[in-house]
Structure 1
Amino acid sequence: MTEDKNMLDKKSNADLFIIARRGLPAIKHKLLHNVPLNDSITVAFLGGSITEGAGATDAETSSWRALTGSYLQGRYVNQSFRFINAGVGGTDSTLGAHRLHEHVLRAGRIDLLFVEFSVNDGNDRDESIRGMEGIVRQCWRLSPETDICFLYTAAEKNLTGSRPFNIAVHEEVAGHYGIPSVNFAARIYTQIQAGERVWKELAPDGYHPNDAGHALYAGFLQKYLETALASDSMVAHRQEVSSTAPLDSLNYEYGMMLDGHGADYSEAFENRELKLGDPLMNWRFSTEHIYSDDPEASFSFTVTGQGAGLVLLIGPDTGIFEYSVNGSPYTAVNMFDDWCLNAYRPLPAMFPIRDQREKLHVTVRNTGMKDERSLGSGLRILKLLCN
């Protein structure tokens, strides 16, 4: 049942550090009933750069993600664990829903999924609902035994006595599906107000915690896990996602990130990878992509769903492209921004969502035009998107 939004808005941020809801029944059952040693428990971490480990001296040992893995392995010494790092810097829940399958679910059964996007999600409530709800519904449709927990990290916008916008929106989804949440930002804010912490000493850039900040986050989460995984903790079985009406029928439950080579390209395109030394941020995976700077270059692809899009590798030489869906008038898109001046990075271009699932034929053309700050008119296709 969805929590009453008006009641939620009246609660202070500090009062909502941990909301247990239905708990973590599946992984708790496995841990308490001694899963066979040859059957490891898989814990995945889906989020942005904070989840990836930015700010930590060593993301694989001193980030909150790594410390949480160490805690679980240390607490359950006879249990085999597998941990998946699906944190990608600069990504929000929209792209999170579309990359969930490739970066998490295709690895097989997932026992516990932590989701962290409260800092990277923007001011569009509908888009944030669609992303977070899409993650939940896709996960439970494809991996129904997975326990999910939402995490809310700190940034200036989240350090407030009232419930911050992004956290409030994510809580709408958490409340609707009975998902537990741990609000790191609320606890940090309480400690700042009590004179116990100085935010800039924990996150010098205002976003990414240093080792001390990551350790603090890990400690907050461990406090929840100690209770949630205890033998006497209360849990409730969740409803089947198929029987739960969505908050937004346009959510990204069917979001997928597809191989960029699945489109039909004109001869002007060629396969490329970034060269050694090319500046790259927010992507630790392959940079293989399809490239052209020819003003006559075009490509097309067809998907079935409510929407389509692209993940482009944008950077110093990115140009302006235009697209058409099912014969609609072409719409020009300029994705060049200040970050492009310094490095390449992946960025999604989402095309308008349809009310119903249908076959969508997308045509994309290079325009040969560019932002005045760009060094060229390049078009680099990393992935195709559909929902």
Structure 2
Amino acid sequence: MRKLLFVLCSVFFATLTIAQTEPLVNSVEATYRAGLPHFFDKIQKGQSVKVAYLGGSITRADHGWRTKTFQWLQSNYPQAQFVEIMAAIGGTGSDFGAYRLQNHVLQHTPDLVFVEFAVNDNGKSAQDVKESMEGIVRQIWQQNRSTDICFVYTFSRPQLDFYQRGTFPVSASAMEVIADYYQIPSISMAFPAVNLITEGKMVLQGQAGSTTDPMVFSADGVHPFPETGHKVYAETVKKHLIHLQLVGKKGKHALKKALMPNNLEKASLLALDKIEKSSGWPRVDSVVVGKAYASLLTSVIASDDTSEYIKVRFKGTSFGIVDVIGPSSGQIRVYIDNEPPRYINRFDEYATYYRMNYTIINGLKEGNHEVTIKVSPEKLDKALILQKRNNKINNPKLYEKQFLYLGGILVK
């Protein structure tokens, strides 16, 4: 009993220490800071304006806040020609956002980048969030210091209580630290939605249908319905964009000394033609063609042969892969230098369909590394894994293979 009490006390004081060193930021609907002056200057001059949306599934959703705000920009500012850069991938956080930023956003030379990861970064430490968000900011401004950035915050059921207590959750609080340091405007789309829920005018979770009091925000407490939750999100962004027209002055954004020494400004995604591989990795289009992520993952190679290998040599402290996981994916072995192999599952309880995914190994020693990847000979109990979400295997043939579907390599 004393041992249990000691453990509980240790956990409590550890949590208290973290809370004291990483204070939560009081929540507000928007903070304009240095504004979006370059973005609006190009609009006023009637030029071509490129708007990038970097985020997760809430931003990826068709007919959601992304679509609604982009259509509003087109109709509200007819003198300009708007180009959309869709760079949102469901189930991914700001860490992956930093690694893929050059490939999915910066190569298209955006004028404004919306960054939305507050929900998918839930559960990560404040330090990790700050490192990845600062890496995103610094990469953008290293390419073009006239590119404007706007952080936008969504929310999910686990974060509701934070807002109702008057603070941002851990993820958004960490993002606000970076926004303050670099004077980046932020808009909390979550703020008015939470207020409606608190006032009883909106229900967080339920069936789609009612768009009048009480509206239903979402089916799952995370992904808003287009007619309700996403409408609130979009109206919030529109309202503050109108005010932001008058905020800030043109001039190159200041790329100050990094706040976080280990930020992800040097994170990158290597294409498949940059890596060494054995001969048994044919290109596979079946897991890409027609998928929502097709434009962001143009080539995938695959193998279920345990003797085939991928080999990467790099200098850095982190390594990862971009892949597709689904019914026929399996487990991989990752050998780093002379260390024992790491076994990483590329199949999970959601793998009843194919989706773009990633995994990252952090904390490597600074210096040169050699990494070898092979398919593991171990056969996963996929039925047991799927049971975590009460999913069942109806067609065993779809699940019998154990492939690695590789789309790219992540290095820092």
Scaled to the shorter chain, the TM-score interval is 0.7 to 0.9
* Mapped partners of 1:30, 1:226: distance in 2: 15
Instruction: Look up the match of 2:111.
Output: 111
Q: What is the identity, as a one-letter code, of the residue corresponding to 2:200?
A: G
For each residue in 1:208-255, what CA deviation from the matched residue of structure 2 results, as whole angstroms up to 9, or x when unmatched? 22222222111100111111113xx355967532x32232x2221122
CA RMSD of aligned residues (A): 2.6
Shift of 1:293: 1.1
Within 5 Å, give how 1:192-207 maps onto structure 2.
Answer: 192-200=197-205, 201-207=216-222
- 1:366 and 2:375 are equivalent in the alignment: yes
Instruction: Look up the match of 2:39.
Output: 27
Instruction: Look up the match of 1:132.
Output: 133
- 1:246 and 2:259 are equivalent in the alignment: yes
Q: In 1, are the aligned partners of 2:122 and 2:170 still within 8 Å (CA)?
A: no
- 1:295 and 2:300 are equivalent in the alignment: no
Length-normalised TM-score, structure 1: 0.85
Q: Residues 255 and 314 of structure 1: is their aligned pair in 2 closer, same or farther, counting only changes over 3 Å?
A: same
Q: Residues 136 and 234 of structure 1: is their aligned pair in 2 closer, same or farther, counting only changes over 3 Å?
A: closer
Q: Residues 148 and 381 of structure 1: is their aligned pair in 2 closer, same or farther, counting only changes over 3 Å?
A: same
- Using CA pairs under 8 Å that are at least 6 residues apart, name the structure with larger relative contact order, 1 or 2: 1
* Mapped partners of 2:407, 2:362: distance in 1: 20
- 1:41 and 2:54 are equivalent in the alignment: no
Q: In 1, are the aligned partners of 2:24 and 2:169 still within 8 Å (CA)?
A: no
Instruction: Look up the match of 2:4.
Output: none
Within 5 Å, give how 1:1-387 maps onto structure 2.
Answer: 9=23, 12-13=26-27, 16-32=28-44, 34=45, 37=46, 39-53=47-61, 59=62, 62-108=63-109, 110-125=110-125, 126-160=127-161, 161-162=164-165, 163-200=168-205, 201-212=216-227, 213-230=229-246, 233-234=247-248, 240-241=254-255, 243-247=256-260, 249-274=261-286, 285-286=296-297, 288-340=299-351, 342-354=352-364, 356=366, 358-373=367-382, 375-387=400-412
Greater shift after overlay, 110-119 or 283-292?
A: 283-292
Instruction: Look up the match of 1:56.
Output: none
Shift of 1:12: 4.3
**Structure 1: any 5+ residue segments left out of the alignment?**
54-58
Q: Residues 300 and 225 of structure 1: is their aligned pair in 2 closer, same or farther, counting only changes over 3 Å?
A: same
* Mapped partners of 1:157, 1:67: distance in 2: 26
For each residue in 1:124-174, what CA deviation from the matched residue of structure 2 results, as whole angstroms up to 9, or x when unmatched? 213322221111111111121111111011211232323212211222221
Equivalenced residue count is: 362
Q: In 2, are the aligned partners of 1:20 and 1:181 still within 8 Å (CA)?
A: yes
For each residue in 1:176-205, what CA deviation from the matched residue of structure 2 results, as whole angstroms up to 9, or x when unmatched? 221111111122111222222222312122
* Mapped partners of 1:270, 1:80: distance in 2: 41
Q: Give the percent of matched residue pairs that are identical in Structure 1 and Structure 2.
A: 30
* Mapped partners of 1:6, 1:23: distance in 2: 31
* Mapped partners of 2:248, 2:287: distance in 1: 53
Greater shift after overlay, 178-187 or 257-266?
A: 257-266
Q: What is the identity, as a one-letter code, of the residue corresponding to 2:66?
A: R
Shift of 1:107: 1.0
Length-normalised TM-score, structure 2: 0.80
SS of residue paired to 2:377: strand
Q: Residues 283 and 198 of structure 1: is their aligned pair in 2 closer, same or farther, counting only changes over 3 Å?
A: farther
* Mapped partners of 1:101, 1:11: distance in 2: 30
* Mapped partners of 2:292, 2:49: distance in 1: 31
Q: In 2, are the aligned partners of 1:151 and 1:183 still within 8 Å (CA)?
A: yes
**Structure 2: any 5+ residue segments left out of the alignment?**
1-18, 206-215, 383-398
